[in-house]
Amino acid sequence: MHTRTGVLAFILIGAFQWSSHGSARADVFTPPDDIRFRRVDILSEGVRLAGEVFGARRAAAAWGSDTISGWPHTAPGAFIGETRAPVQREDRTRNVVKPLLKNDRPAYNTDRRPRPEARSRDLSPRIGFAPEGARVAMKIHDIETFLVNIGGQNRVLVRVLTDEHIHGTGEAYCVGPDEATVQAIRYFKEWLIGQDPFRIEYLWRLLYNGSRYPGGSVLTAAISGIELALWDLKGKALHVPVYQLLGGRCRDAVRIYTGAGTVDQAKQAVDRGFTAIKMGPQPAGGDRMPWGKVLAEAARTMESMRKALGDEIDIALDPHAKIFESARAVELAEAVRPYRPLFLEEAVRPENVKAMARVRRKTTVPIATGEQLYTKYQFHDVMAGEAADILQPDLCIVGGLREAKKIAAEAEANCLTLAPHNPLGPVATAACVHFAASTPNFVILEYVDPGQSGPLREMVLEPMKRKGGYLEIPDTPGLGIELDLNAIQNYPPRPWRRGPVFEVDGNIGFI
């Protein structure tokens, strides 16, 4: 204690003696015009005087310096052996030299102990401020795309590579044509080469704002795939799961549901441990049926499903945005309401928020939407219009993880929950698991079982682990997913398109 008090006293004496050369007043320091002062000189003088009494090494250790030569102090973000003199700025109103602040903290180290990050030089990438030339940020070196056919559609996979041999994996939505999404990613690649991959928000704005025109499905799918890969990369570089970078876990597992078109399929899902299923309420061929018959069949199907599964299993319904008029959507909702559906997904087309809001106001069945919406801006319109109870952003097209988190925050303030749309495969599922793990108003996740073989299972080394009706939350760095580059070569892309739907009079309906 006496030693540290003595050190501080000598430092203050040195600082006073040194500063008094430039001013006759003790309370205001006026530097001579021919000298550029740096606070490190004040500290060096004080430490030198203290060293004469207590010994150089002991004084330096008391102050928190990591070297003796030159009496440096550790600047924020600097590493052992590196020194940095804080930049000075002059307050011309009072003629007082002040230290430049970084994040409202002094640019010099006010902690006497060595900074924790200063103990190691092998951080990858190095974080914080350091002397010019000392901090070498990781740089994006290349971006790879892979089109993998899964039997019908293709899957658009993305890898971001760096000059430090760390890579991240993501997935872009297959909106069709998939080649357009691939070309958009390659177009953005030229913007990203040489950039710091840790600056995810900055790079998102570079791609989205830099495109000027509001992005449609192809553009936002490309941005989403890149953004997800950046999060995977950052988690790997920092040796932490991605959810730790998003606020940490707020739950211990992620609840999921699976698709079931018939009662038998639903029973099989329950036998496998699922606690929720989703089905289409309209009968097969409903696009060519009289509306009254569609309503009757929907009610009978839902009644039989509820009787077979009991009240312990949640049943979600997806009309698939095929209904155009809000009045008919209300009729459908009321027909199935007695059987307590978990939600009614895309009851009407998403283009008209007011039409969706009319449906929500006239039924107590929870209305869900979001798979065809992009970015926080379109979701804001839904929330402002009070058009939905449950939001369903797809991380592979909405703009990525960070964009989905922004949507979730506004939804939480509006007492809304989220059930992410997730019909793709194991890479998208991994991203959704980290989102769900760190989002308090998440409720349930759509899940496609990759199975034991085939392209969905073989495109990754190890998918997310399912335990009954839940997915385990991984503790591996990044998203916890890795592509099998050899296996995906066995599933080259094929041309595909969504076929049109024809109504009974030949008019083209909605898919």
For residues 329 and 359, the answer to whether their CB atoms sit within 8 Å is yes
421 catalytically annotated: yes
Supply the pLDDT for residue 23.
39
- Domains belonging to the chain, first-starting first, are 2-119 (no CATH), 248-476 (3.20.20.120)
Q: In whole angstroms, how far apart are CA 33 and each of 14, 21, 36, 37? A: 21, 12, 8, 10
User: What is the identity of the amino acid at 385?
Assistant: G
Supply the pLDDT for residue 137.
86
User: What is the identity of the amino acid at 384?
Assistant: A
Supply the pLDDT for residue 219.
96
CA distance 502 to 23: 89
Supply the pLDDT for residue 16.
42
CA distance 347 to 332: 9
> Phi, psi at residue 466, to the nearest 5°?
-100, 140
Supply the pLDDT for residue 48.
52
CA distance 179 to 190: 17
Our CA angle for 367, 394, 216, nearest 5°, is 105
Alpha-carbon radius of gyration of the chain: 30
Q: What is the DSSP letter of 22?
A: G
Check 73, 167, 421, 434 and give the catalytic one. 421
How many CB atoms sit inside 10 A of residue 45's CB?
20
pTM of the model: 0.75
Task: Transcribe 463-510 into DSSP letters.
Answer: -PPEETTEEEPP-SSBTS--B-TTGGGGS------PPP-B-TTS-B--
Show contacts of 71-75: CB within 8 Å, 24+ apart. Answer: 71/40, 71/43, 71/44, 71/47, 72/40, 73/40, 73/43, 73/108, 73/109, 74/109, 74/114, 74/115, 74/118, 75/107, 75/108, 75/109, 75/129, 75/130, 75/131
User: CA 255, 260, 264, 268 torsion: positive or negative?
Assistant: negative
User: What is the identity of the amino acid at 124?
Assistant: S
Supply the pLDDT for residue 198.
98
Our CA angle for 478, 482, 483, nearest 5°, is 145
Stated length of the chain: 511
Extract the residue ranges of the chain whose pLDDT is less than 50: 1-44, 46-47, 49-134
2 catalytically annotated: no
